[in-house]
Amino acid sequence: MGILSLITGKPGASGFGSGSTAEQVTEDICAAGLTVVVTGGSSGIGLETSRVFALRGAHVIIAARNTEAASEAKKRIMKIHPVARIDVLKLDLSSLKSVRAFADQFNAMNLPLNILINNAGVMFCPFQLSEDEVEMQFATNHLGHFLLTNLLLDNMKTTAKSTGIEGRIVNLSSVAHLHTYPKGILFDQLNDKKIYNDKMAYGQSKLANILHAKELSRRLKEEGANITVNCVHPGLIMTNLMRHSFALMKAIQLVTYLFWKNVPQGAATTCYVGLNPQLKGVTGKYFADCNEEKTSAHAKSDVLAKQLWEFSEELIRSVK
């Protein structure tokens, strides 16, 4: 999809494009009987994703750090769709303890799990370490989702096997994965404040989302699991994600307004990859504007993907 298609909204090979909305890409699709977890599902494109999945009949679990905001989001959705099935569970992705508590609570509900939308994140935040002593953007955007996915994976495998319905995992990445540190992932300098760059650190975390999906996809295919794993770039949307750089992003928006989307358009690629039957069996890919797109050389690296997986496992093991 080129710049002209982005501006005009001209559909790509999928039949959808930058102007498509989440409702349009899931039109006439029934998700009744499916259970979906949406991290960060209480605001922005996460909220729209939750709403559209609920509209299509799915049982939606909104996983959010702020449960009050998530409960308000649930009320807003149910006011529009009174028969929607929505539950709210607390999840702080910057805390591995919170991730484990969420997984325990979800698994105790004895629900199946068909779809996992790893949507939540932080962007361009000043340097800080998580409670687990990991750089905050990497901890929240990648490591928390890495652990969450691993903890929910057995449930997804069981659900896919018992129902015969393909499970889907969707990682929200970004075109920002192109703008990372020269080495891609700073394994040995992850927490080095002296070289920290908020934009590159964000790009690093978004590259990690793609590499995570790449390696997990390879592992699941190897064992024959009926689960796909893909990444999406939602596009440029003004949401709470940009709270650390609001003034800068508003200034950029003034001169690049043709490239920006509204929230329903921003949630379209997530909903397309998570639910549309066109993508049955498609895994390990990266999508933007509801069409497959190319990634950076770092994102294509099998070696880097395996290294990140092992590094992430070691980080998690080191946290008591």
Return the H-helix or E-strand segment holding 264: helix 263-266
In the three-class reduction of DSSP (H, G, I as helix; E, B as strand; rest coil), residue 132 is classed as coil
Residue with tokens 């991290």: 39
Is the pTM higher than 0.85? The answer reads: yes
Just list the catalytic residues.
196
CA 57/CA 28 separation, integer angstroms = 11
Amino acid at 133: E
Give the sign of the dihedral formed by CA 56, CA 58, CA 63, CA 66. positive
Specify the DSSP element, H or E, that contains 286.
strand 286-288
pLDDT in tens, the chain (320 residues): 554 454 556 789 999 999 999 999 999 999 999 999 999 999 999 999 999 999 999 999 999 999 999 999 999 999 999 999 999 999 999 999 999 999 999 999 999 999 999 999 999 999 999 999 999 999 999 999 999 999 999 999 999 999 999 999 999 999 999 999 999 999 999 999 999 999 999 999 999 999 999 999 999 999 999 999 999 999 887 555 544 445 554 444 444 444 569 999 999 999 999 999 999 999 999 999 999 999 999 999 999 999 999 999 999 999 86
- Please state the domain extents for the chain: 3-234+263-318
CATH of domain 3-234+263-318: 3.40.50.720
Q: How far is residue 235's CA from residue 89's CA, in Å, rounded to a whole number?
A: 27
**HEC readout, 74-128:** HHHHHHHCCCCEEEEEECCCCCHHHHHHHHHHHHHCCCCCCEEEECCCCCCCCCC
